[in-house]
């Protein structure tokens, strides 16, 4: 699995940081950044949760 | 597309003496298409009750948040979303891209990290309110003495209101919320006093910038001086009674379900379970749009009912149960889409600290009246309690 984000769509609600803090962060502007593009297997569930909760659909999860 | 006439249901949706969410939401959800209602001012509004449909409405580009569009479903003249000409900067009533300039300017103030840094100050505020309650005897109204002052004090410190003025600020915001205890005239006066105060505060920060939200917003230069007071009033109004109602209802529910006291997951479940902002997200179609097979015409109002969505059995197992351990997390208590609550992480921290400290400091806390006698708010925009009488054993 790997994740990409569209920071231009992000509305800074922080659901991703709250649920998968090892994978997502908010920069100084409050918009999403990716800390780990290839999350560890044990982080996969949290990343998926972040993906479904993101209100602006800024997170895309790719199965590779 | 459904061809039969859509069912018309009565407004208001909440009625005295009834449980919340109203039992009839389940009936609305079960019907094909949507139900329609007429607001006290005659406006037509489609009611959206299924979780999936609510998320779709709140992310549709054919649907607007702007009350300038004819047909916008404001509940009444005083309840709903003010127009930009009434309060410039009230950006919850703007669509992208106009909305985004405001949102982007404010996001850095509400990141998960920033809110975490506010924790010690919030803890002190909560402790002080508990000290005051304990010093006053063995009973209190948890709404007036705790749930309302805590968020007001938190917001005033966020805005950079000097400590000496916080009492003033708190008393005026309390008047605004007390729809039963204050008159229209008192609320009008309180609003004017608050606006005047905020205007003065902005002028002071222009002269003497400090380490606070107003000064930082001024420094970014993206919002102008006419818009700033409206933005600040929006933060105050959006973050005060909403949070207060959630604190009070959550304490009530924890007292009824004491096995969950001390479990931080009670915060998220309380948000879903009580869904206080049921009539907050108001929308209007700006193009013809189909929702669940129902054609909604451009110029017709749409009200996504978040409490109905959060109690939808196709999204939540046994939604009527207060179950902080539940797996489903996709509640829409903060809305969805670009307007999803900006203050949500602040709320989470406030609620968590409020619940934890209350039960830590007052383990014998109990309701002072039977639950059936608690006065629920059924006539306003938000769901909540007018009062929550509690008592405890003095040590
Ligand atoms: C439990 C407490 C709260 C609840 C249930 C709540 C709920 C909501 C909801 C449902 C919306 C979306 C409105 C829409 O879709 O039109 C919203 C937006 C908003 N909330 Fe909250 N809110 C709470 C607390 C706060 C706090 C503490 C603040 C800030 C101090 C805040 C600031 C805002 C702002 C500024 C918006 C507009 C965001 C935008 O338009 O981009 N809220 N809130
Ligand atoms: S959850 Fe979505 S909108 Fe919120 S900060 Fe993360 S990417 Fe941005």
A48 vs B contacts (CB less than 8 Å): none
Contact B104 A52 (CB under 8 A): no
Instruction: Please enumerate in sequence order all residues whose Cβ is within 8 A of that of B74, keeping only pairs 6 or more positions apart, or say none.
Output: B39, B41, B43, B67, B80, B81, B282
**pLDDT category of residue B60 using cuts at 50, 70 and 90:** very high
pLDDT at B366: 98
B340 vs A contacts (CB less than 8 Å): 11, 13, 55-56
d(CA B389, CA B395): 19
d(CA B347, CA B56): 25
In a 10 Å sphere around its CB, with 0-12 CB exposed, 13-18 middle and 19+ buried, how is residue B248 labelled?
Answer: buried
Beta carbon of A16 within 6 Å of any ligand 2 atom: yes
Question: How confident is the model over A1-5, as a mean pLDDT?
Answer: 96
pLDDT at B183: 79
**pLDDT category of residue B123 using cuts at 50, 70 and 90:** very high
pLDDT at B59: 97
Question: How confident is the model over B321-325, as a mean pLDDT?
Answer: 98
- Residue A17 CA: nearest ligand 2 atom is 6
- Residue A30 CA: nearest ligand 2 atom is 5
Cβ–Cβ under 8 Å, residues B138 and B393: yes
pLDDT reading at B324 higher than 80:
yes
pLDDT at B179: 66
- B130-177 residue pLDDT tens: 999 999 999 999 999 999 999 999 999 899 888 889 888 888 888 877
- A8-50 residue pLDDT tens: 999 999 999 999 999 999 999 999 999 999 999 999 999 999 9
**pLDDT category of residue B351 using cuts at 50, 70 and 90:** very high
pLDDT reading at B3 higher than 60:
no
Q: Fold for domain A2-62?
A: Alpha-Beta Plaits (3.30.70)
**Share of residues in chain B with pLDDT > 90 (%):** 74
A36 three-class SS: coil
Tokens 């009674």 map to which residue? B241
Residues pairing with B385 in the sheet: B376
**Mean pLDDT in chain B?**
92
Is the ipTM higher than 0.90? The answer is yes
Contact B110 A12 (CB under 8 A): yes
Q: Which of A4, A8, A14, A24 to mutate to test the pocket of ligand 2 (most atoms within 8 A of CB)?
A: A14
d(CA B231, CA B228): 5
Contact A18 B345 (CB under 8 A): yes
pLDDT at B4: 66
Contact A14 B335 (CB under 8 A): no
d(CA B312, CA B330): 11
pLDDT reading at B387 higher than 70:
yes
What CATH number belongs to B8-391?
1.10.630.10
With CA atoms as reference, report the closest residue to B352 among B261, B277, B273, B278.
B261
Cβ–Cβ under 8 Å, residues B160 and B210: yes
Determine the distance in angstroms separating the CA of A11 from the nearest CA of chain B, rounded to an integer.
Answer: 6
d(CA B327, CA B329): 6
Peptide bond connecting B21 to the previous residue in cis, omega within 30 degrees of 0: yes
- Nearest beta carbon to residue B108 from set A17, A28, A52: A28
**Share of residues in chain B with pLDDT > 70 (%):** 98
Determine the distance in angstroms separating the CA of B53 from the nearest CA of chain A, rounded to an integer.
Answer: 14
Token pair, residue A45, equals 């569930």
Closest residue by CA, ligand 1 atom 27: B239
Closest residue by CA, ligand 1 atom 32: B343
pLDDT at B175: 82
Domain definitions of chain A by residue range:
2-62
Contact A11 B340 (CB under 8 A): yes
β-bridge pairing B63-64 and B283-285: antiparallel
Distance of alpha carbon B214 from its chain centroid, rounded? 22
Phi-psi label, residue B275: left if phi above 0, alpha if psi -120 to 50, beta otherwise = left
pLDDT reading at B380 higher than 80:
no
Domain definitions of chain B by residue range:
8-391
Beta carbon of A13 within 6 Å of any ligand 2 atom: yes
**pLDDT category of residue B54 using cuts at 50, 70 and 90:** very high
A34 three-class SS: strand
d(CA B269, CA A55): 18
In a 10 Å sphere around its CB, with 0-12 CB exposed, 13-18 middle and 19+ buried, how is residue B199 labelled?
Answer: middle
- B205-253 residue pLDDT tens: 999 999 899 999 999 888 987 899 999 999 998 999 999 999 999 999 9
B103 in A contact zone (CB under 8 Å): yes
Distances (CA, A) of B48 to B34, B52, B283, B337, B354: 6, 10, 11, 16, 33
Beta carbon of A18 within 6 Å of any ligand 2 atom: no
Q: What is the pTM of this model?
A: 0.95
Instruction: Please enumerate in sequence order all residues whose Cβ is within 8 A of that of B170, keeping only pairs 6 or more positions apart, or say none.
Output: B148, B149, B152, B153, B156
- B177-206 residue pLDDT tens: 776 677 778 888 888 898 899 999 999 999
pLDDT at B297: 96
């Amino acid at each position: 699995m790997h994740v990409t984000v569209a920071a231009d769509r992000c509305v800074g609600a922080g659901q991703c940081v709250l649920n998968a803090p090892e994978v997502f962060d908010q920069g100084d502007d409050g918009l999403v950044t990716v800390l780990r593009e290839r999350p560890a297997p044990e982080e996969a569930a949290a990343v998926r949760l972040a993906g479904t909760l993101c209100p602006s659909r800024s997170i895309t999860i790719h199965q590779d | 597309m459904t061809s039969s006439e859509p069912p018309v249901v009565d407004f208001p949706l909440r009625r005295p003496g009834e449980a919340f969410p109203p039992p009839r939401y389940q009936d609305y959800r079960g019907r094909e298409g949507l139900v329609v209602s007429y607001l006290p001012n005659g406006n037509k509004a489609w009611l959206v009750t299924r979780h999936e449909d609510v998320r779709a409405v709140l992310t549709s580009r054919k649907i607007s948040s702007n009350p300038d569009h004819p047909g916008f479903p404001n509940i009444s003249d005083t309840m709903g979303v003010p127009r930009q000409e009434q309060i410039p900067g009230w950006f919850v009533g703007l669509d992208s891209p106009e909305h985004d300039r405001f949102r982007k300017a404010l996001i850095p103030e509400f990141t998960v990290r920033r809110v975490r840094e506010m924790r010690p100050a919030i803890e002190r505020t909560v402790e002080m309110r508990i000290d005051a309650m304990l010093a006053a005897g063995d009973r209190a109204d948890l709404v007036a003495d705790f749930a309302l002052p805590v968020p007001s004090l938190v917001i005033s410190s966020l805005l950079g209101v000097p400590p000496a003025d916080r009492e003033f600020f708190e008393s005026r915001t309390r008047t605004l919320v007390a729809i039963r205890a204050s008159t229209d005239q008192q609320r009008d006066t309180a609003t004017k006093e608050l606006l005047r105060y905020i205007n003065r505060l902005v002028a002071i920060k222009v002269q003497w910038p400090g380490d606070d939200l107003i000064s930082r917003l001024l420094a970014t230069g993206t919002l102008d001086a006419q818009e700033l007071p409206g933005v600040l009033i929006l933060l105050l109004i959006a973050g005060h009674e909403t949070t207060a109602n959630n604190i009070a209802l959550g304490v009530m529910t924890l007292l009824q379900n004491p096995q969950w006291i001390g479990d931080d997951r009670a915060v998220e479940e309380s948000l879903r379970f009580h869904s206080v902002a049921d009539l907050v997200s108001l929308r209007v179609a700006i193009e013809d749009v189909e929702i669940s097979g129902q054609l909604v015409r451009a110029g017709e109002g749409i009200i996504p009912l978040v409490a109905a969505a959060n109690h939808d059995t196709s999204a939540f197992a046994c939604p009527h149960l207060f179950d902080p351990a539940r797996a489903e997390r996709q509640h829409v208590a903060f809305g969805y889409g670009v307007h999803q609550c900006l203050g949500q992480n602040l709320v989470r921290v406030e609620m968590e600290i409020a619940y934890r400290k209350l039960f830590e400091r007052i383990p014998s806390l109990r309701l002072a009246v039977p639950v059936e006698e608690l006065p629920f708010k059924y006539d306003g925009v938000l769901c909540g309690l007018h009062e929550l009488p509690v008592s405890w054993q003095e040590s």
